[in-house]
Amino acid sequence: MKGESDVMEKDVLTRVEAILKSTPSTSDIFTSTSLVTGGTIDSLALVMIVSELSDEFGVEIPVECLTPDNFDSAGAIAQMIIRLTNQT
C-alpha cells in the first residue's frame, strides 16, 4: 500500500537523518545535501555510518551497496535501507 510505504519511508529517513546528525563530519546535513560528491563523507565517516545503519535497522550492508549513489544523501541512504530490509 502506498500510504504504508510512505510512512515507512519517512520513518526510515528520519532515523537515517538522526544517524547522520550524530556523525561528526555529517552533523549539518539536509536531505538533499550531496554527502559523497560534495566531500562531506570521508572513508572513516562512511564506516561509522554503515555501522550505525546496520545496528539501527538490523541489516547487513553489502560491499556492492557502498556506492556514491547510495550514500550521496539521506534520502538515497533511506531508499537503500528500504531495499535491503525488503530483501530479508
Question: Using CA atoms, how far apart are residues 67 and 28, in angstroms rounded to an integer?
Answer: 21
Q: 15-34, pLDDT tens digit by residue? A: 998 998 887 766 566 555 68
Give residues with Cβ within 8 angstroms of 73, minimum separation 6.
31, 32, 33, 34, 35
CATH number of the domain encompassing residue 70: 1.10.1200.10
Domain around 17: 2-87
Does 86 have pLDDT greater than 80?
yes
| pLDDT at residue number 21 | 85
Could you give the number of structural domains in the chain?
A: 1
Give pLDDT tens digits for 49-77: 999 999 999 999 999 999 999 999 999 99
